[in-house]
Structure formats: C-alpha cells, structure tokens
Amino acid sequence: MVTASDYAGLKPAWCPGCGNFGILNALNRALVEMKIEPNQVLLVSGIGQAGKLPHYTRGNVFNSLHGRPVPPAIGARIANPELIVIAVSGDGDAYGEGGNHFLHAARRNHNITYLVHDNQVYGLTKGQASPTSDVGFITKTTPYGAANPINPIALAIVSGASFVARGFAGDIDHLSNLIKKGIAHRGFALIDILQPCVSFNHKNTFQWYRERIYNLEDEKYDPSDRKAALEKALIWGEEIPIGIIYEEDLPVYEDQLPALSDGPLVKQKIDSRRVEKLLAEFM
Amino acid sequence: MPIDFNFMVGGEAGQGVQSVGFLLAKVFARGGYHIFADQDYESRVRGGHNFFRVRVSDDKVDAIAEEVDIMIALNMDSIELHQPDMVTKGIIIFDGEKIKGVSGDNGSLLSIPLEKLAAEKAGDKLMINTVALGAALSLVNYDLNMLNEVLIDRFGKGKVGDSNIAAAKAGYDYVQSEHKGNFRKIKPLSETKRMLLTGNEAISLGAIAAGCKFMAAYPMTPASSIMEYIAAKSKDLDLVMVHAEDEIAAINMAIGAAYAGVRAMTATSGSGLCLMVEGIGLAGITETPIVIIDAQRPGPAVGLPTRTEQGDLQFVLHAHHGDFPRAVLAPATIEDAFWVTVNAFNWAEKYQLPVIILTDQHLASSHATVDSLDLSQVTIDRGMLFSEKEDDPLEYMRHRVTKSGISPRAFPGLGKALVVTDCDEHDEEGHLTEDAGERAAQVQKRLRKLIPLEKEIGTPHRYGPKKAETTLIGWGSTYGAIHEAVDILRREEASVNMLHLNELWPFPAKSVADAVSKARNSYAIENNATGQLARLIKAETGYDISGRILKYDGRPFTPAYIAQAVRKEAR
C-alpha cells in the first residue's frame, strides 16, 4: 500500500506561496494514486528552483546540471526500462539551456515524462527574463522588454512528442490527473506547467492565469488531431487552454533497440567470451 | 635476410585508396606477417590526395617507415609527391594511358594499362585498383590464392567477388609476362593468420569485452568508427549506441546509463570533448563511472580534422573546474588500446570517476597486426556494490563517507535502496547541502579515492639499457616510433634508452623522477607544439626535460625522423 507518507521528502526551500508547491503535491498525489513505490521512480532534474523538487519528495534522484536533465534521464531509462523516469525542469532549464535536448528527445520519442515548471522567469538567479517570458516583459537583463517567447507546446508537437499537455500549478486535481496520464503514456510526454512565481513575476500571477485558463475537457476536442493540436498550441493571451493538447500512439525509441529484447541492460550479465566471435572477423 | 617491406597506395578520395591499402595489409597479415599501416587523408569525400602506407615485416612493427618499395599511384600527385620516398630499386605502378607526362627514373616506373585490363578482363573499368593490387603482389611473387581468399571475404562469392578476382589476376599475370625486372620475392610466412585491427577497433572490442552496454556519441573524426562499430554489433551483442544530438547530450546520456548501473562510454575528439567538459565534472561530483575516449586531432577548434596530434594532454588533465579525481590513460599501441580500455572500465567503477582514454588519429585509424587477445585475461571488477542482504537498504547513502573514500554503489530500481545524487554539493545521502562540514567531508572523500588509484598505476615502460646518456621520453601512440628510433640509434652505438607512459594520471611521479634523474640528456618526444608531457613531468617531479623533439604538423613521427632529430640535438 503506497501512501502520501511514502513521498514525504525534505522540507522545501521555496518561497512561501510558490507555484512549485502545487506541482510537488500534484506529483506526489499522482504517484500515490498510481500505486508506484518510490524505489520504482527515477526523478532527474536540472538546475533552478524546479530542479530542487526531487529532494522534496522521495524516489531515486539524479539532480543533473543546468539544462541537462533529459539526456541522463534517457540514458537511465534505456539502461533500465523498468524504471519510471520523470525529468523535471524549469522554463530556463528546459527551453533555454536544454533546448536542443528537448527538441531531440521529442523527435526520438523517448519514453520519459517531462515536467516543466514554467513560471516565465528565472527564479534561482533572481528575476531575469526566460525563454517563455511574455514579449515586452521588463527585467534587469531585458530593460527594453523581452523578445518573443518560444512556444513549448507547439515546439513539442512539431518535434514529434507523442504527448503534449499544459497544466496549472493552481489546479492540483487537474494537474495530478495530467501527470498520471503522462506517466501512463508510452513515449515522450511533455507537461508544461503554468507556475506563478510570487517573487519575480508580478505579471503572470495566480490571478492572471485563473482569469485566462480554460479546460480542454470542457469542450469537444480531439487531442489526436495534430493539426487541431497545433491550432490550440498557438492560443495564448486572453485565453489559455490547459489539458492534453496532443496525444498519439507513436513508435517509441526504445522499441527499435534489439538489445532490450533480452531484458533491461542493467540485468544482463557481462560475458567477455562473446567477443571471441568478433575477433574471428579480424583474421 | 629479414623482411621489412613498404607499400604505398596513393590517389584521390573516392578512388579506393583505403580499400586497396586495407586489402594489401590483410593479404600479408593472412600470410603470417606483422603489419603496420597508416592512413593519410584530407577532410573531403572526393578529390584531393590521400595515401595509405603498409609496412610488412617478419618481425613485430609498431610504426610506419618513410621509405617505399612499391607504390600504387592512382593519380599524378602520388608520383610527384612521393617519388623522393622511393628506395633505390623501388617501383611505381601507374597507368601510363591515364596519367600522362610522368617523368623520372624509367627503371622505377612501371606503367600498366590498369583501366584497359580492368575493362577487358574484369568487365568493369572501375576495378583499376584491384588490377593494381594484383600487379603489386606479382612484383614480389606473393601467393595469388591468398589474395583471392581476401577478395571473397571482402566482396562475397557472387559477381562482385568474381570480377575482383579476375581483375587481380589480370594485374598479376600482366606483371609476370611483361615485367622483366628482378624483384624481391615475399612468400607467406606461416599458416598463422594474424588479426588486423585499427586502434578504434581495438578500443571497441576492449569496451565490449569489458561489458560496456551503453554508448552515446556524436560523430567526429577520427573517433566516429567507434560508435559505428558498436552500433553495428548492437544486435548480436546486446549493446545500445545512441547517436545523440550533440556531445553534451552524449556524455550526459552515458552518465545517466552508468548511474542506472551499466558500463557506459562516449567517444569524441578535441572540440567535441570541449563540449563534454561539464559532464566530466558531473561524473566527478556524482561519482558516476564513465569512460571517455578522446581520439585527438590537431586543434584548437576544428584544427586539422583528419590528422594527428597529442595536443589534449594538459586539457584533459584539467578539463572542468574544481578539484576532483579522474584517471587519464593513453594506449601505446593498437594491442595496448584493447587492454587499456578494459582497464579503464574497471578503474571507472572501482573508483567511481571519469576515466579518459587519449588516443589520436594515428592510433585510431592505423592498422596493426595483433597476435592474440586472450579473453581469459579480461577481468571485470565492478568495485564496491551495496548488498541489501547485508545492509539495511533504508539506511543506504550513496555518498557515505568511508575511509577509502569509496562508497558502495546501489542501482536505482533494483532494490529497496533509494539512490540519490546531485551535481550540487550533497550530503552523504545525496541531497543538496550548503553545510561547510559536509562540503569539506565530500571533497576529501572524493580526493581520497586517488590513494588506492595511484597504487594501480604501473611502472612506465622502459626500453634499452638501464643507464644511458640519452633518454627518449614519450606517451601514447608514439611508442612504436620511439622504440624503433632507439634501435636505430643503438645500432650506431649511441647510448640511448626510452621511457614511455601509457598511464598519465594519477601521475607516476616516483618512477618517472627515478628514470629522468639517471639520464644526462632527456628528450620529450611529443606530437604537440609545447611539450605537454615535459611540462607535466616538471610540475610533478621538479625535473626539467633538457630537450624537446616536437612535431605539430598533423603528421605522425617515424622512427627515422626521431633518430635524425636526436642525432642533430646530440651534435
């Protein structure tokens, strides 16, 4: 029996009222409801306030470098596909420093779930603009306003991710459900999470998001339609859709690896004598 | 009379220079000869000028020679550039109907209608290089059947194999009937076939034998053939090779796989390694075992992409910020590359740190015969592993502070233990901390691992008399050329010996100091511009290396080059 106490980690060092608390609660709830034991989970995070999340829950943890949670998550998942691998980033980590890994992980459709705490600002380094800051957002590093933001939802869809969703840190029930679906999905599952930053983003507040978000489940919407998904991905401003924007059953990278058909690599025995037949080829 | 015979195949990229060179090397390796063959090529897919040298010997050879006995010239450049390399009675095979206006000593020029023979006898005028191959072997009266076997192995028994055999026979017969000169005869030596490997193949085999299950890499000359080989064998040997989006991803993927519990590696060259530097430190602080192959090429930046240099030593010793342990190895020969790689995986896991293997284009893409690789000598030591039978998994701490500095490893998901690690400084459990005491304890614990690791480092290789006036010092792929230079100089009665390192970090300061202190003159012989090993020796032992013989034109040393440089210095 898995209970909430199994996921009681260290005391968070986040600011009081931070959107990260909602994400942490939603993740813990999803894992408990899916009856997943902490030792079955691998949380791979990057650097930023989001990167600290794994320490505040329980599981196997690889807290990686800034921008790099996805590559080690991929390596670990291939080494042991029995692990439930969840990568955790902030918007700077995922879409700035780690942008290339994000595109290619989506393209190859690795079987990992990617939670991106998207607060549209840098928190840990104290308030600089991020790749998703709204255009014109004024910070110490963008005194004349931030340039156009990138659109992570659209990028994920066109790059080949097979599950693309947007959640909101202020709606734990909804977010927890999304995380459960992301974990259950086979393939690269991006969940971009609107996460108010109470210290450095005074524009995109809880209130601001609440006034704009609407749930895609409340309308007739088919997330398997890629074109329609791209249209939804472009909606941002007065209205912001949340929920599963795109979901499709697509080939997964691991499936094309013949080595995994003999069980997880990590469980395979080392047998140096197998090299003998290779040596013969050089005679 | 001993056999030490040199072939050269020269031509444009796309003319099959590499293919003919390889077949030449193969046919003599099959006949029991020792081979060393190197490749000199430009960074282009078609055109330019490339050559492939094959040294054939009845004794062990680990270096290339400068002189050429028989050249197959597929273009004019080969003749113009390499005529000075020919021995007095050497012969240049070329197609006088295609390459016009060749001048030089007529006795050494053998024009054969290669294209005409290819078209008439093999039905394909593109087979000129196989005709030339047959002609070259005919000049030394080698066994044509042995070439036929090699051609079938390479091209199969079908039409392509048959045409190649016909082409080779055409060249062979032409020389037998038309060439009146009397040339040296080389017969197969023995029934013992020798393995013919490149440095990259030896490393790949070493990695597989060591149980490496996961590789991630990004293509970069001259390292790419490692990832290609691992990928080609991934199905039969249950390996995974991920062609990553960039070198940063590659090293981080390998680290993730190693954290999860498999032996993992990556391979690149200098500027790819520049991108991987952050991963070296990540492996350092998370104590994740990984093996990184750096097949060096001349830098900085893109440098000379297809050429050789030993310019990365000081870089890999220091790459990354902060203090943490690492090991740096540099195989001396192609055979050594196999064993060094096996060792690298053991050290990486025993001491839970990054191990860097420094090779270079010369070692990576040269071919040499290897007598045998005794797989029963391969040992696998995975280091200290956490046992849930003996210890409580709920108490497991990935970075437990121990006397040796080594904390037993557990793997995520394989037991109840939670494996927590962090690229931030962390406590024993692996959670990030800023506590001064915990920080200091973790730094010390990591550095303590160097103490047992230092004991693993062997004594550097010594050759020649124990005491000599002159000591030639080298590291990595220059072993063969320096070794043979010592032989050349000693035949001239010079008092010379050699000190050579294939394990560079932790640095074997005591044995190096001992050797250097005994020599009146010492020369660092290095394929770089500043004497990077000499600087390391100075830093670690305090001894100055009195002279430096450095080569940084992108080309490898030859024994004759080194001998001549030493003679000049001695004057």
DSSP for residue A134:
P
Residue-level pLDDT at B108:
87
B213 chain-A contacts, CB cut-off 8 A? 79, 259, 265-266, 268
CB contact (8 A) between residue A75 and residue B264: yes
CB contact (8 A) between residue B375 and residue A273: yes
pLDDT tens digits, one per residue of B174-192: 999 988 777 788 999 887 8
CATH of the domain at A36: 3.40.50.970
Quote the CA–CA distance of B502 and B475 in Å, as a whole number.
6
Terminal Cα distance for chain B, rounded? 33
Q: Is the dihedral of CA B485, B488, B494, B495 positive or negative?
A: positive
Choose the closest CB to A278 out of B205, B278, B416: B205
Crossing angle between the packed helical segments B247-260 and A70-79, to the nearest 10 degrees: 40
CB contact (8 A) between residue A79 and residue B253: no
CB contact (8 A) between residue B242 and residue A78: yes
State the complex-level ipTM: 0.98
Banded model confidence at residue B106, pLDDT cuts 50, 70, 90: low
Does the residue A234 lie in any domain? yes
- Identify which of B265, B286, B278, B287 has the alpha carbon closest to the alpha carbon of residue B356: B265
Q: How many domains does chain A have?
A: 1
Structure tokens at B106: 């007529």
Interchain CB contact of A13 with B (< 8 Å): no
pLDDT tens digits, one per residue of B305-353: 999 999 999 999 999 999 999 999 999 999 999 999 999 999 999 999 9
Q: Which residue of A has its CA nearest to B422?
A: A63
Instruction: Write the CA distances from B246 to B136, B204, B241, B324, integer angstroms.
Output: 44, 20, 14, 25
CB contact (8 A) between residue A75 and residue B415: no
Does the residue A66 lie in any domain? yes
CB contact (8 A) between residue B239 and residue A259: yes
Residue-level pLDDT at B1:
79
Query: For B461-570, CATH number?
Result: 3.40.50.920
Distance from CA of B394 to the nearest CA of A (A): 11
Distance from CA of A17 to the nearest CA of B (A): 22
A73 chain-B contacts, CB cut-off 8 A? 256
Specify the CATH number for B197-375; select among 3.40.50.300, 3.40.50.970, 3.40.309.10, 3.30.70.660. Answer: 3.40.50.970
Distance from CA of A80 to the nearest CA of B (A): 7
Low-confidence ranges of chain A (pLDDT < 50): none
Common-topology check for domains B4-178 and B197-375: no
**Cα R_g (chain A), whole angstroms:** 20
CB contact (8 A) between residue B201 and residue A79: no
CB contact (8 A) between residue A74 and residue B416: no
B257 chain-A contacts, CB cut-off 8 A? 75-76, 78-79, 265
Interchain CB contact of B553 with A (< 8 Å): no
CB contact (8 A) between residue A61 and residue B422: yes
Interchain CB contact of B441 with A (< 8 Å): no
Quote the CA–CA distance of B45 and B240 in Å, as a whole number.
29
Contact predicate A283/A100, CB 8 Å: no
Does the residue A281 lie in any domain? no
Does the residue A51 lie in any domain? yes
Residues 184-203 of B with CB under 8 A from A: 193-197, 201
Distance from CA of A250 to the nearest CA of B (A): 19
Residue-level pLDDT at B101:
87
Residue-level pLDDT at B251:
98
Crossing angle between the packed helical segments B270-286 and B247-260, to the nearest 10 degrees: 30
Choose the closest CB to B214 out of A40, A47, A78: A78
Residues 52-71 of A with CB under 8 A from B: 52, 54-55, 58-65, 68, 70-71
Instruction: Write the CA distances from B25 to B32, B160, B214, integer angstroms.
Output: 11, 20, 32
CB contact (8 A) between residue B431 and residue A55: yes
Does the residue A10 lie in any domain? yes
CB contact (8 A) between residue B213 and residue A47: no
Residue-level pLDDT at B105:
66
Distance from CA of A86 to the nearest CA of B (A): 13
Interchain CB contact of A103 with B (< 8 Å): yes
Structure tokens at A254: 């691991």
A64 chain-B contacts, CB cut-off 8 A? 252, 282, 423
Q: Are strands A41-45 and B521-526 parallel, antiparallel or unpaired?
A: unpaired
Average pLDDT in chain B: 96
Residues 219-278 of A with CB under 8 A from B: 257-260, 262, 265-268, 270-276, 278
Residue-level pLDDT at B519:
87
Number of Cβ atoms within 10 Å of the Cβ of B130:
30
CB contact (8 A) between residue A62 and residue B286: yes
Does the residue A265 lie in any domain? no
Structure tokens at A122: 């840098």
Does the residue A263 lie in any domain? no
pLDDT at B44 over 90: no
Quote the CA–CA distance of A90 and A169 in Å, as a whole number.
13
The fold for domain B4-178 equals Pyruvate-ferredoxin Oxidoreductase; domain 3 (3.40.920)
pLDDT tens digits, one per residue of B364-394: 999 999 988 999 999 999 999 999 999 999 9
Quote the CA–CA distance of B367 and B194 in Å, as a whole number.
12
**Domains of chain B, residue spans:** 4-178, 197-375, 384-451, 461-570
Q: Which residue of A has its CA nearest to B256?
A: A72
Q: Which residue of A has its CA nearest to B425?
A: A63
Quote the CA–CA distance of B64 and B555 in Å, as a whole number.
11
Q: Domain residues for A106? A: 4-254
- Identify which of A48, A150, A45 has the alpha carbon closest to the alpha carbon of residue A99: A150
pLDDT tens digits, one per residue of B241-274: 999 999 999 999 999 999 999 999 999 999 999 9
B249 chain-A contacts, CB cut-off 8 A? 70-71, 100-101, 104
| Torsion of Cα atoms, B168 then B174 then B176 then B178, to 10° | -160
